[in-house]
Amino acid sequence: MLSETAYAKVNLALHVRARRDDGYHELESLFAFCMDGDRLDASVRGDGALRLTIEGPFADDLGEDEDNLVLRAARALREASGAGLGADLRLDKQLPVAAGIGGGSADAAAALRLLVRLWALEGAAIDLAGIAASLGADVPACLASQTVFGSGVGDKLSPVEMDLAGTPILLVNPLIECLTAPVFKGWDGVDRGALDPLAWRRGRNDLADSATDLVPEIDEVIAVLRAQLPSVTRMSGSGATCFALFGSAAERDGAAGRIEKDHPDWWTMATSLR
């Protein structure tokens, strides 16, 4: 049995530049990743079958059918490698679904990393990046799960010279589903300018207004986080998860405790950036 973490993704800034004719959007984002997330376990099946079970607090929000991104990733890797092996996969779903922190994409990327090890494919001539891109716009960034600048639809990745590892971060979600497609559809179409990844603290999330129109509780989450006096507070991705960065783990944990006490119906995760 091998295990892999599906690290929660955070968009430290997200600038939407244009709506494309194919329905996607040109955007610029600084992706960062948390130390924690979902957990994926796997063991080899000699019969070539792929089986997935899901457990954890958000298991009921996902299906174990063939369209699950973990199974799609496994099938794509098996086909590309010609390995002929199967796997029993178990996903411990700790991250809320449709939450703007890359849950499904992170799970797919974790499946690719895990099965490469499980099936002993290290060094094989496999286009992992291409497989990741075929599974979704965020999966390539989630594959490495390192701080990176994304452009295009989020799939054109460029390294950035910064080290955010260890930065204390608190994620908060009001546990209201915020679907990506309606949020992007509600974007007002105004290009507010490029994102300088080295100046991301002065950036923004251009989807925040659209997401808040759909989930007004996001405004309350942002207000509560700002009251904790972090260095940065912003919505991640298409919402509804918001994040706050702190100067110390003690400050983060104090904020988490206060929010959990005052809002026991919200989801929180106190962690740090990778």
Domain boundaries, the chain: 2-158, 168-272
Which pLDDT score, from 0 to 100, does residue 64 have? 78
Which pLDDT score, from 0 to 100, does residue 193 have? 98
Which pLDDT score, from 0 to 100, does residue 14 have? 98
Which pLDDT score, from 0 to 100, does residue 256 have? 98
Which pLDDT score, from 0 to 100, does residue 84 have? 87
CATH 3.30.230.10 fits 2-158, yes or no: yes
CB burial class (10 A; 0-12, 13-18, 19+) of residue 189?
A: exposed
Q: Count CB neighbours of 47 within 10 A.
A: 7
Whether residue 42 contacts residue 114, with contact meaning beta carbons closer than 8 Å, is answered with: yes
- Rounded to an integer, what is the distance from CA 3 to the centroid of its chain? 18
Whether residue 136 contacts residue 40, with contact meaning beta carbons closer than 8 Å, is answered with: no
> Which 3 state secondary structure label does DSSP give 3?
strand
Indicate the pTM of the whole model: 0.96
List the pLDDT tens digit at each of the 274 positions of the chain.
999 999 999 999 999 999 999 989 999 999 999 999 999 999 999 899 999 999 999 999 997 788 899 999 999 999 999 988 999 999 999 999 999 999 999 999 999 999 999 999 998 999 999 999 999 999 999 999 999 999 999 999 999 999 999 999 999 999 999 999 999 999 999 999 999 999 999 999 999 999 999 999 999 999 999 999 999 999 999 999 999 999 999 999 999 999 999 999 999 999 999 9
Closest CA to 32 of 184, 209, 228, 166: 166
Residues 59 and 264: their CA atoms lie apart, in Å, by 20
156 labelled catalytic: no
Phi, psi of 32 (to 5 degrees): -135, 165
Residues 149 and 80: their CA atoms lie apart, in Å, by 28
- Which of the following is catalytic: 47, 138, 196, 265? 138
Residue appearing with tokens 């702190």: 246
9 labelled catalytic: yes
* Alpha-carbon Rg for the chain in angstroms: 18
CATH topology for 168-272?
Alpha-Beta Plaits (3.30.70)
- Which of the following is catalytic: 9, 93, 107, 206? 9
Phi, psi of 152 (to 5 degrees): 70, -125
Residues 63 and 54: their CA atoms lie apart, in Å, by 8
Residues 13 and 106: their CA atoms lie apart, in Å, by 18
Residues 157 and 47: their CA atoms lie apart, in Å, by 37
Q: What is the DSSP letter of 29?
A: E
Residues 211 and 102: their CA atoms lie apart, in Å, by 16
- Rounded to an integer, what is the distance from CA 107 to the centroid of its chain? 9
